[in-house]
Structure formats: C-alpha cells, structure tokens
C-alpha cells in the first residue's frame, strides 16, 4: 500500500491508510488482515454482489419514501447501486468468502463501495463520509443481520435459475440419446449380474426422467428462499427502522429483483433460524447424488474398452495416462462425481452451521453462503460439461450389444411361459457353458420353431415396448412339449 497514494480513514479502533483509488474502506481493509484465509473474494459469486446492491437500492428507496433519508443522497446511493447491479465495480467487493462476524465484513464492504461510488458521482473525493456515510446513509434502517441473509437468499434464487437451466438442457440430451438408441437391445443388470433385456434407449430415457424429477424438486425449493427478514435490523425487533420500513422495503426489493419475496411473520425467529438454508442444501444434495449415480452408470457402461462392459463409447477428451499409451479415461463423468462429493460435504457444513447458531443470531452464515453458492455454481458447470463434452457425443457399440444379448441367459426368461421354467433353466446352463445363442438352443431342442422364437425374442417384446396383452398358455414343465402354432398365435398382440 505504501507505493500507492493513500487516504486516511478512521473507525472506532483507530486509523488506517487506504489506497486512494480503492472504493472499499477501512472495514474492508481490516477484513483483509483478519480473514486472509480462502484466497477467494466474495466477487467470485456475482449473484451475491448484485443481491447486496439490490438490497441497498431497495433500502435507499424505502428510506426516501419514508422521509428517513435525504432525497438527493438517496438518489445518489440508488444510482450507485444500479451501476453495481449492471456489473460495474464487482472487483471492489473483495473480502474473503470465509470470515467471522456473521457477514459484517461483507455488508461493510458493500456499504463502503456503494458510498464511494455515490461520492464520486456527486463530485466528492472517496472517503468524504461527511457528505455520504457508509453507516448513516447507505446502511440506514439496516443491519448486517437482515441485509446479509436477505442477499444470500436472493443470490441463491438467481443461482438456482442458472442450475435449473443447465439441468434441463442435460435432461434433453439424455432424452435425445434415449430416442437415438430406442431400437438398440442390450442386457439389463441387477446387482451387477445379468438380468433381462432392455433397450439402451430405455436406459437413457430413465436418466432423462430422473433428471426431470430433480428439476421439479429443485424448482419447488424456491419458496424456501422467499421469506426474508429485511427490516428486522439487529435481532428482529426493528430497532432504528421506521415501523413501516419492512413492508415498504420488501415492495421495492420485489420491484428491483422481480422476485416474490415476503416479510417473515416473526422477524426474531427469522433472524436467528437458518433452517431454510439447510432444507435448500438437502435438495441440492439429492440432485447431486442422482447425477453422480448416473455418472457411475456411464463409467460402467463405457468400461474397457476390451475387458469391460464396452457397451457405449464416451467421447475421448484427453490422454488418460502418463505411462500407458492410448489409454482414455471417463474424465467428464469423474468430475461430476467429484462435484457431487463436494456438494455432500457442503451439505454437512451447512447442517453444522445451522446447528451452531446461538440465541438471536446465526454467526455462521458466511460459510453457509459460500457452501451453497459454490455447490450451485459447480453443479451448473458440471451439468454443462457433462452435456457438451460427454452425453452429446456418446455412441453405442451395437455389434457388442447384439452379441451379448444373443448369448445372454437372461433372454430365456421371455420363453419360460412357452417352454416352462425347468427347460429354460437347463437351456440357460447350457448357454453359459457353451456361450451359444439361446435361440439356436431352443430350436435345436425342438421346443419352439425358429419363427416363434424370433417373434418372442424380438427387441420390442424383450424390452416391453410391445406388450403381450393376451393370455399366455403356460407349458407344463413335465411335458416340455414344443409350442404349436395355435398357442403362439393366441399371444399375438
């Protein structure tokens, strides 16, 4: 700082030299000294910066309307906030994301930056707080304890919209693959063992469906973020604020943000309780876990390519080994897995932080905000890279899938109504020992004609896409009689 021109600012602890060109002030400077921890400024979350400016802008308008703030000063603060909302000065919001003080450093950083923008617009020097004060004017009728949680909820609502957009695009990609692979037969698996057949399209359609369900569940969480405590000031009693302020400021805030926020019915409870953040975090965790499970499946289905499942091919994105030439790893699903692990850890952090609140305030909202905003941001980016760099480029190994279905003992399940369980079990054992095609074994045993076997083992019937709607005459195990044309005709759907 000594190499840059400075200005002197003073607080109750003493004086400090602040760079003359900095829009932040002494409280931000003290936070630099005290919380040099994360090496990540709050500006890494632009939605939070815009939310803070939106709250300050609503407060300026409400105070002006109620006569609690000079109209000229309120207008300057309002216009300064708008510049921040429009994307200017975000780099000046530079306190660390992890900080003590229940978010006071963040609130003061916002007060100082917005005040100094307003001062500059009015033709005053930065730091000329006798004209516009970060405390008496920009922070009028406010406390960190109502500004900060309100801004967090607005930021989460905005960030959630970004995540929902990416999640829906990913769902569409899976659905498109479901349509592309709709006729590609494969072996289903339960407990990692061969089960009955299905189509690869059904598998991918299932992925799309589960993402659609998560999209709906996450969308429903928006109500958790709608109730705010703005107007509570320090502990919920509204001290220093006009009794009308809470209702007026929420009206202005809704106009500014386009959200449907409402004042909590009990501001004391709302100021101390972080349960909404915990519930919101739980919904994020659910979505992350389901995304991770899908990625586990993709890694299994693409494993090999020679000694694994090898059913699908993921796009090759980078060399997979520094020692094994030609090796390619499923790096995109892997990164989604790791994002999910982080989200689960963040959920635990949010849970413990919510529990750690004491009496009239939760002092740990900074780590709650960081944990949730990071989780949403990483999940949105993870969904994007999963879609663009993996799902859209997946191809099916159709020859391998056809061979696996043809030799799978699982297909014999479709024939048990016609040849009986005992005969089917014997054929399954033979197929396992000889690795021969089930259909060939059934025809050779004179249990069904080639035409009937082909009909019953068609991809549409094996996958359930073509339902057998009429009664099926079950063959007595003791008879092992060949299926005649009359009985099979009765099963035509």
In 40-105, DSSP assigns E strands to: none
Q: Is 321 one of the catalytic residues? A: yes
Tell me how far apart the alpha carbons of residues 298 and 206 are, in angstroms, rounded to a whole number. Answer: 13
CA torsion angle for 127, 131, 133, 138 (degrees, to 10)? -120
Residue 269 vs residues 104, 266, 280: alpha-carbon distances, Å? 20, 5, 18
Six token digits for residue 189: 């698996």
CA torsion angle for 455, 458, 462, 464 (degrees, to 10)? -90
Bridge partners of residue 101, in order along the sequence: none
Bridge partners of residue 216, in order along the sequence: none
Residue partners of 381: CB distance under 8 A and separation at least 6: 166
From 15, 20, 247, 321, active-site residue: 321
Is residue 156 a contact partner of residue 168, using CB atoms and an 8 Å limit?
Answer: no
Residue 473, by phi and psi: left (phi above 0), alpha (psi -120 to 50) or beta?
Answer: beta
Q: Report residue 69: phi and psi, to 5°.
A: -145, 135
Is residue 235 a contact partner of residue 145, using CB atoms and an 8 Å limit?
Answer: yes
Q: Report residue 285: phi and psi, to 5°.
A: -60, -45
Catalytic residue ranges: 321
């Amino acid at each position: 700082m000594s190499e840059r021109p400075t200005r002197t600012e003073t607080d109750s602890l003493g004086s400090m030299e602040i760079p003359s060109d900095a829009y932040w002030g002494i409280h931000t400077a003290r936070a630099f000294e005290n919380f040099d921890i994360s090496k990540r400024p709050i500006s890494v979350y632009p939605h939070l910066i815009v939310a803070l400016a939106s709250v300050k802008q609503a407060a300026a308008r409400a105070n002006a309307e109620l006569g609690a703030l000079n109209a000229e000063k309120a207008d300057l603060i309002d216009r300064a906030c708008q510049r921040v909302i429009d994307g200017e000065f975000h780099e000046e919001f530079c306190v660390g994301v992890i900080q003590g003080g229940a978010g006071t450093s963040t609130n003061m950083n916002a007060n100082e930056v917005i005040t100094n923008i307003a001062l500059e617009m009015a033709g005053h020097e930065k730091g000329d707080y006798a004209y516009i004060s970060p405390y008496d004017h920009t922070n009028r009728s406010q406390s960190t304890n109502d500004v900060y949680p309100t801004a967090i909820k607005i930021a989460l609502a905005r960030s959630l919209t970004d995540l929902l957009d990416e999640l829906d695009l990913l769902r569409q990609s899976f659905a498109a693959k479901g349509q592309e692979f709709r006729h590609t037969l494969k072996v289903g698996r339960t407990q990692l063992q061969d089960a009955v057949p299905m189509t690869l399209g059904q598998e991918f359609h299932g992925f799309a469906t589960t993402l659609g369900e998560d999209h709906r569940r996450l969308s429903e969480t928006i109500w958790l973020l709608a109730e705010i405590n703005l107007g509570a000031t320090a502990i919920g009693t509204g001290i220093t604020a006009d009794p009308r302020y809470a209702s007026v400021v929420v009206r202005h805030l809704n106009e500014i943000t386009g959200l449907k926020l409402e004042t909590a019915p009990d501001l004391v409870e709302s100021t101390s309780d972080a349960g909404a953040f915990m519930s919101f975090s739980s919904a994020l965790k659910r979505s992350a876990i389901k995304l991770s499970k899908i990625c586990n499946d993709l890694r299994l289905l693409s494993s090999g390519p020679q000694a694994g499942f090898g059913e699908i091919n993921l796009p090759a994105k980078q060399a997979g080994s520094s020692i094994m030439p030609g090796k390619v790893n499923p790096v995109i699903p892997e990164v989604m897995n790791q994002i999910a692990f982080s989200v689960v850890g963040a959920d635990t952090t949010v849970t413990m932080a919510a529990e750690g609140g004491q009496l009239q305030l939760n002092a740990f909202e900074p780590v709650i905000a960081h944990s949730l905003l990071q989780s949403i941001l990483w999940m949105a980016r993870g969904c994007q890279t999963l879609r663009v760099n993996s799902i859209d480029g997946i191809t099916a190994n159709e020859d391998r899938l056809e061979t696996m279905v043809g030799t799978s003992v699982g297909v014999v399940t479709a024939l048990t109504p016609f040849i009986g369980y005992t005969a089917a079990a014997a054929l399954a054992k033979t197929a396992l020992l000889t690795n021969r095609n089930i259909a060939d074994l059934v025809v050779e045993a004179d249990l069904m004609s080639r035409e009937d076997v082909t009909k019953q083992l068609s991809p549409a019937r094996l996958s359930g896409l073509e339902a057998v709607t009429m009664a099926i005459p079950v063959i007595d195990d003791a008879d092992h009689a060949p299926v005649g044309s009359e009985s099979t005709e009765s099963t035509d759907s």
